[in-house]
Each structure stands twice: as C-alpha cells, then as structure tokens.
C-alpha cells in the first residue's frame, strides 16, 4: 500500500507511459503526490495485467463486461439484439450494435442514444448499426452489411466537439473530438425510394441434399475442416 498526500495545486511532468492503445502517452503535467509510507504484507501476492497494443489482457476483461452491459442497453432500447466492442479497438473506441429495425430513422436514434447513455460510449468514436441477421462478432459480415446496406450520402452521422478519451491523440483537441455513425441497416421508406434487394439464401432442402452427399463422395474430412 502506498500512502501519501496529493497536492491540489502542485503538478509535475509525468510520462511517457506505455498504454492500452499500443502507444506511448505524451508527457503531461499531473498532480504531485508526497509519499509518506509504503507498506505491504509478508509474502504478498501481486495482481496485475500487462498493457500493450490491443488485444491485450485489459481488452479481454472488457469482453466480459461487454456481456454485462447489454441488458442495461436493452432496458432503454429493447430493439437492440446485441452490442459488441471489438478488443482490437481498445474495447471502447468502436462499437457495433445489431437491432430489430421497425421504423425509419431508428438506427440514427440509437446512435444518439448510445453515445449519451453510458460513459463507456461517450468515448466511442465509430458506431456501426446493423440488422439482427448480421453476426456482429464476424468482421466479414459487418463489412458486408456496411458495403451493401449503407450509402455515404445518406447513412453517415457525424458529430464534432464531443467528449473523447484524452489519451486519444488522434483527436484535434485533448478530451474533445468527433464521432462517426454508420447506418448499415436495411432501408425502408422513406429512407429509400428504391426496391430493396433480398439476401441470397439456399433452400433448406438443397442444403440437406448436399450435406447427405459428403459421406458418399468421401469428403467428410473436408466437411469437418469447413465446419
């Protein structure tokens, strides 16, 4: 245990420290602490995690927390089927949400709601909203939705001068930056005037017939590898 007093007026340069972003932080002034005592138990057990470029240990811990706050989101937005914060994006800078869409403009409403609902989302720079047929933990499926269900002239939501992680040196100002939302959901009138496409899907009877052929053709090992 480290005991001491933190000054309310005196500061000193701190850093650079390696952080969960995968970068060294800049040197900045922080309050000075005068240490008065350092105590510890005999044969103590020191618990810690390593920090580095994600995905790292803290980001894996955040994956568990991700499961916990989905029920909280659903209390306010019951249309949310699932929400995912990719660990590669520092576990909070990108979010993907899947919804059961019922009315036009619903994805935009959700974006604005999530950005202001939980402190975790106030630091989220990119928010992608997709339909509930998309596996939000499969980046290939998410990118397919973005590339086929969104148009940059209609489906981008941008905000400026919003609260942002002060560790994010990509933002133009410390603690203040922008946000981007992408509506990658199926569009319904009046969001579009065009006839919307229907996703390709194989008939269940055809799938069953093909599955039954694997063994007869001696391809069961290939089927297991593809599963």
Kindly list the catalytic residues: 19
CA dist 123 and 92 (Å) reads 7
For residue 141, the cross-strand partners are: none
Query: What value does the CA radius of gyration of the chain take, rounded to a whole number of Å?
Result: 24
Contacts with 43 (C-beta within 8 Å, 6 or more apart), sequence order: none
Pairing of strands 28-38, 94-99: unpaired
Q: Three-state SS string across 132-195, please?
A: CCCCCCCHHHHHHHHHHHCCCCCCEEEEEEEECCCCCCCCCECCEEEEEEEEECCCCCCCCCCC
């Amino acid at each position: 245990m480290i005991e001491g007093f933190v000054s309310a007026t005196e500061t000193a340069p701190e850093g650079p420290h390696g952080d969960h972003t995968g970068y060294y932080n800049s040197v900045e002034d922080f309050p000075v602490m005068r240490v008065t005592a350092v105590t510890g138990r005999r044969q103590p057990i020191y618990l810690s995690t390593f920090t580095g470029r994600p995905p790292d240990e803290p980001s894996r811990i955040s994956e568990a927390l991700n499961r916990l706050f989905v029920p909280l989101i659903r209390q306010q937005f019951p249309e949310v089927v699932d929400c995912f914060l990719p660990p590669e994006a520092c576990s909070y800078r990108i979010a993907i949400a899947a919804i059961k869409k019922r009315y036009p403009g619903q994805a935009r409403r959700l974006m604005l709601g999530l950005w202001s609902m939980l402190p975790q989302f106030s630091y989220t720079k990119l928010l992608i909203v997709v339909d509930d047929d998309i596996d939000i933990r499969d980046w290939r499926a998410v990118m397919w939705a973005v590339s086929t269900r969104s148009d940059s002239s209609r489906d981008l939501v941008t905000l400026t001068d919003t609260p942002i992680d002060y560790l994010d040196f990509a933002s133009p100002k410390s603690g203040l930056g922008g946000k981007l939302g992408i509506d990658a959901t199926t569009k319904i009138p009046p969001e579009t005037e065009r006839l919307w496409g229907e996703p390709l899907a194989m008939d269940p009877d055809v799938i069953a017939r093909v599955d039954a052929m694997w063994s007869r053709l001696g391809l069961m090992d290939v089927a297991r590898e593809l599963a």
